[in-house]
A and B are shown apart, each in its own frame.
Chain A
Amino acid sequence: MDINNRGDEQLELLKVSNLEVHFAARQGFLSSLLNKQPKQVRAVDGLDFSIRKGEILCLAGESGSGKTTTGKAILRLVEPTGGEVCFKGEDVIAFNRQRLRRFRQEAQIIFQDPYESLNPRQTVFSTVAEPLEVNRICKNNEQIEERVIEALTDAGLSNPQELFLRYPHELSGGQRQRLAIAGALVVKPDFIMADEPVSMLDLSIRAGILKLMVDLRDQKGISYLFITHDLSLAWLVSDRIAIMYLGKIVELGSADTVIRQPLHPYTRALVSVIPVLKRVMPSDKKLLQGETPDPVNIPTGCRFHPRCPEAQSRCREEEPLYREVMPGHYGACHFI
C-alpha cells in the first residue's frame, strides 16, 4: 500500500530533529594523564526525519552507520546528546521517570537476535506478561492471561496456552521472534522500533515475520522504524526509506523513488548491488571501495567523499546541505 494514497489523516507520530548521539571514546591511561581532551565518537550526528501514523520508515545503511543507535536514542535506551525527539507532539527527551514509563508502553522495540533478546530462564507466559506486570496494566491475573493470549495470537502463534510453560530454547527461531513481537504487542504500542528483526532468521521464516509486521500495521495502525542493512527488504516492506551514512541521512524519500531513482551516489552504489533489482533494472555494478570510516575521525566536507566515485574538490571542503530536492525526496549532495 502506498503511503501517499492514504488521505489526509497522516499525523506525524514521531518527529526527530537534529538528533545527535556522541560518545566519549575510550582513552588510554597515558593520554588521560596528559589531560588530552577525550575524543568523540559521533555515532549519530544530526538527523532529521519524521514517521507518520501507520507508516513504516526504513533506516538503511552499512554496519557502523549509526542505525541502531538512532533507534535506541529515540526510545531513550541511549541518551541523545543533542537534538529533539517529539512523540505525539511531546518532547521525549524532557520526559521525567513517570512519563518515560508511560512512553515505554507506547513505543516498543524488537531486537535483532531472538536468541539473545529473550531471557533463557523465563517462560513464554512470563516473558509476555512481564510488561503488564511491570506497568501494572491489568487488574487481575485473568486479565493478564487474556492479554497474553491475545498478544500471542496476534503475533501468529497458534494454541498459545500450550506454549505458556515453554522456555525460549524449546521454541524455533521463527517462534522466538514471534514471541518477542508478542512481548512488544502486549502493551498495545503505537510505535515499534524493529532492529533488523529478520536478519538472524532463516530465509523461509523471514517472509512470515515481515508479513506479520505489515499486517499489524494495517490492522492496528502501528508505525515502525524498521532498521535494516538489506535494501531489497527495505523496498519490500517500507513506505519510505532513509539511507544513513556515518551518522547522517544522505537520502530520504518514498521507497519506490529511492530505489528506482536514487539521487545520492551512495544510494546509487547500494541500489546497484541489489541482486533482485538487477533483473528488473539492469545497471552497472558499482562496488564501493574501502570501509566506512571511523566515526571518531569523520572526513571533512562531505563525509562520503573518500569513497565517492563522483567526488570533486568541493566535496572535500564543503559539507553538503540536507535539502528537499524533489517534493518528499530529500538528499545531501552538492550535485543533485
Chain B
Amino acid sequence: MNSDTIRTAALAIGGSLLLAGLLFAANGENPFEAFKLLFEGSVGSRAKLSNTLLVWVPLTLAAASLVVTFSAGLWNIGVEGQIIVGAIGATWAAREVGGPSFVVITAAIVVAIIAGSLWALLAGVLKVYGGVNEIFGGLGLDFVATGMATYLIIGPWQRAGVASTSGTDLLRDEAWLPKIGDENISWVSLALTVAAVIGVFLLMRGTSFGLKLKAVGSNVHSATRLGIPANRYMLIAFGLGGALAGLAGSAQVLGFHHKLVPASSGGFGFLGILVVLLAAYRASLIAPIAFFFAAITVGTTFLELRLGLDSAVGGVLQGLLVLFVLLAGGWQRKRRTEAASALAPTPSAVAGEG
C-alpha cells in the first residue's frame, strides 16, 4: 500500500511540474528557463541556499508540529496563531531580559516555546472540555493572536512617534541569532530544527507514547477501552505541537525579522499543512518536502526579477502540487476499490469477464 504513496507523489510532482510548465509557456516564457531560474534563485549559491533555509526552518517546525497533532487525530489549524504567540513571547523576552546574547536568546526561545505551547493548550482545552472542534477553536485563536500582535505593534510596543502596523523597532543586537559567516541563516535555528525533526521522528516511531498517540488518533473509543487516557494524550499532543510552533515563532523574530511584525507567522502554519499532506503525515518526509516548498517560495523572487512574472506564481506552484497529490491519491483509492471489486468472485464480475 505504501508503493501507492510513492506513485501518488510521483504523479503529483510530475503533473504539477507539467502544468506549471504549461502555465509558463502560456505566459510566453520558456518553461525550462523558468525552472532554471527557480533552481538558481533558491539553491544556486550559498546566499540563496541560506535564504531558502531561512524559510525552511519555520516551515519544517510548523510541519513537525502538525505531524504530532495529526497523529493524535487532531486538525490543528491553530499552528499559525501558535507561531505568532511564540513570536510575541520571543519579542517580549528580547525586550525585557537584559544581559549577554546567550542569556537573551535562550530566554526568548524558552518563553516562545512556553507561549506557543500554552496557546495550543487553549485550543486543546476548548476541544477536550468545551467540545469545541479544534478546527474552529484553532482558527478563532489564529485571529486573536494576529489581533494581539497588531495591538502590541501599534500600541504598547510602537516605535517612538509612530503608529504603524508595519512592525516594532528592531531588537537590540544581543537578541539577534548568530549568523553563519555572512549568510543570513543561523546555526542555532538550523540545529534546533534538525533536533526537533529527529525528536518528533523518534517519538512517533520508537516510543510507546507515540504508539498510544497514534492509537488515540485512529480511534479514540478503542484507545480509551484499551486504557489509554485519550484526553490527556490529546492535550499533550497540543502542548507539544504548540511548543514546536512557538519555536518557529522565535526563529522568525530572532533570526529573520529581528522585530515583531503582524504576519510573523508568514503563513507557514498553513503551508505546513500542505507539507504534511504531501508527506502523508510522516515525520521522516517533512524535512525534504519542506525544503522543496521553501525553494519554490524563495526561487520565485527570481522569476519576478528576471521574467517579470507575478510573485504569486510560487503559491500557484505549491497549490498545484497539493492539488495533484489529492487528485492522485483519490485516483489511487478509486483504482484500488475498483481492482478489489473486480477481483471479488461475485457473479456479476464473473459474468462481466465472460
Q: Are A and B genuine complex partners?
A: no
B-binding residues in A (CB < 8 A)? none
